[in-house]
Chains A and B, each alone.
Chain A
Amino acid sequence: EVVLTQSPGTLSLSPGERATLSCRASQSVTSNYLAWYQQKPGQAPRLLIYGATDRAIGIPARFSGSGSGTDFTLTISRLEPEDSAVYYCQQYGGSPPWTFGQGTKVEIK
């Protein structure tokens, strides 16, 4: 099973600042099938990025994904107040079980 470790646990930034979230895998993610999700309180997760770098439909361009192998990054270029949420990475390459990271909470000051 691929274990995903996210850092930092919490990120507290001001509107307009850049947020950099990290996701490290315990082994190489097959085909770089790594996704990022945003979850707000009381809601289901929302897909932001798939295949490590591709934005899902309707996702603003300020969200971008990068990385390969075992190290992946989600960048929010200019934070908006509505970006306050918990962000999860998830791998879905090779064989199941598909696994999630423990999440990074982004707080907007």
Chain B
Amino acid sequence: QVQLQQWGAGLLKPSETLSLTCEVYGGSFTGYFWSWIRQSPEKGLEWIGEINHSGSTKYNPSLKSRVTILEDGPRKQFSLKLRSLTAADTAVYYCARGGGGVWPLDAFDIWGPGTVVTVSS
């Protein structure tokens, strides 16, 4: 059974950089897209961006200037960096399998447990 485990700092100050990592357990890393999604009361669920096993990325235009997603295939990990944080970036951040928009099963079928990220001075 495929599971995602994620980790990273949860309390950050304005202007700092958020760094999160997600690892795939019990399944293949290749052949899929891997996404980061966040959820806040103000904006609801918001797709941040995606990466595939060959490192090809796509980002949400609303965040593109501040986001980098990287992959480490041998370790079956992918990571998120979000720069220049403000209070508006406070949210629960999820990693998920899915994206790409090519196949019907490109929906987000596996989710990590989520990381609560608070941006406050």
Contacts and interface: CB of A to CB of B under 8 A. Distances in A.
Interface string A20-34: 000000000011010
A84 interface: no
B73 interface: no
Given A98-B47, A100-B47, 16 more contacts: A45-B108, A50-B104, A50-B107, A50-B109, A54-B104, A90-B45, A90-B107, A92-B98, A92-B106, A95-B101, A96-B58, A96-B60, A97-B60, A97-B61, A98-B99, A100-B44
A78 B102 CA distance: 33
Contacts of B98: 92
Contacts of B94: 44-45
Contacts of B62: 97
A35 interface: yes
Which of A90, A92, A103 is packed against the most chain B CB atoms within 10 Å? A92
Contacts of A96: 47, 50, 58-60, 99, 101
B14 interface: no
B114 interface: yes
Interface residues of A, number: 28
Interface in B6-54: 35, 44-47, 50
A93 B100 CA distance: 8
B107 A92 contact: yes
Given A92-B101, A100-B45, A44 B109 contact: no
Interface in B79-101: 94, 96, 98-101
A44 B109 CA distance: 11
Which of B45, B60, B107 is packed against the most chain A CB atoms within 10 Å? B107
